Amino acid sequence: MRKIIINGGKPLSGEVAVSGAKNSVVALIPAIILADDIVTLDGVPAISDVDSLVEIMEIMGAKVKRDGETLEIDPRGVKDMPMPFGKINSLRASYYFYGSLLGRFGQAVVGLPGGCDLGPRPIDLHLKAFEAMGASISYEEEAMRLATDGRAMQGAHIYMDTVSVGATINTMLAAVKAQGRTVIENAAREPEIIDVATLLNNMGAHVRGAGTNIITIDGVDRLGGTRHQVIPDRIEAGTYIAMAAAIGEGVRITNVLYEHLDSFISKLEEMGVRMTVDEDAIFVEKQDNLKAISVRTAPYPGFATDLQQPITPLLLTAHGRGSILDTIYEKRVNHVPELARMGADISVLGGKIVYNGPSQLTGAAVKATDLRAGAALVTAGLMAQGRTEITNIEFILRGYANIIEKLTALGADIQLVED
């Protein structure tokens, strides 16, 4: 068993570079199945989710070359075959193979997706879109079979009952080679959707409106190769900004797109966090006398659900009483008892997180219950007096590239150990 050991209380300083966006790359890699030539991605983060996706692509017949943050994929040898269930079941983003395989082969047999347990994350919106485009759906043990029975996917007018990043991207993937026009209404607007649309368009697709709530896709017969730069990870950037504000003495975070973090930065400014925003970097000063705030997550451009857990330890340094309400994932509260174990005055009342600050944290043995909860515990461990031991760290490694090395370079006493 691997775990992270942190000897806390050591202030952070220096510079840290943000890696490519996890939430983009887990969709970009399956999207490459649709190409009829080699596609190269630059800025690919060194995370375990990428490792799993690369292994899946190779099992399916793709040729993959990896050199640091560059990933070259030749999808021409990809075969129409059932997906490798073990890997699929470990990844929430495995559902992007539904859309890409439907778009290329007109059918897909894929194991039901896994990932972090954050409460209901139904894929009914994805299936509704696929059915509207001509696919039938059946279940085979722990897998789902999607098929068009030899017919081409057909363009359709699709209204998303709720805003969903996954369903929006999956519909785009299924639609780019469909016959005719597909219109997605009430589409999600996240930067990662724009990133996927940019890749598809560079491959020869006709996708318009990404980043707005109406996306129009005109199907094409062929998609070619291209080279694409993955956008910076706004969630990783927010995590390091929160760490820097919580226990930093001057930290510069680079490879940041400020416009992707607007609502997050606004909340930090409401707390009184002092920082300087440059063109592609943010410098966070040493903080004092922060005030408590309340946070409510919302679809983009609102406060990202993926940042509510990483910001929580910072909130514990503020004076006063505040709350966090996650309107996206109701079970995204599993970090709360772990923080309470470290001495935080924090609890869940009626689905809302309530905290009183400032809290002096003490090192303890804690468990990461999901990816962003794990990030929160790393920040708490850096803040705490004494030794913190974090288990279940596979969640953390799914989404934070080289986190041990990056924090060590900032002055943290942190290490990954094999038990």
Q: Which residues are annotated as a binding site?
A: 22-23, 92, 121-125, 306, 328
- Which is the catalytic residue, given 56, 71, 116, 129? 116
Q: Name the strands in the sheet holding 365-367, side by side, starting at the edge strand that comes first in the sequence.
A: 365-367, 387-391, 2-7, 413-418
How far CA 177 is from CA of 80, 201, 203, in Å, comes to: 16, 12, 12
HEC-encoded secondary structure of 210-227: ECECEEEEECCCCCCCEE
Tokens of 137: 């759906």
Cβ partners under 8 Å of residue 212, min gap 6:
187, 189
Annotated binding site for UDP-N-acetyl-alpha-D-glucosamine: 92, 121-125, 306, 328
CB 99 within 8 A of CB 173: yes
Cis upstream peptide for 84 (omega within 30°): no
Kindly tell me the burial class for residue 219, based on how many C-beta atoms sit within 10 Å of its own C-beta (0-12, 13-18, 19 or more): buried
116 noted as active-site residue: yes
Q: What is the DSSP letter of 319?
A: B
CB 227 within 8 A of CB 40: yes
Annotated binding site for phosphoenolpyruvate: 22-23
Cis upstream peptide for 30 (omega within 30°): no
Active site residues: 116
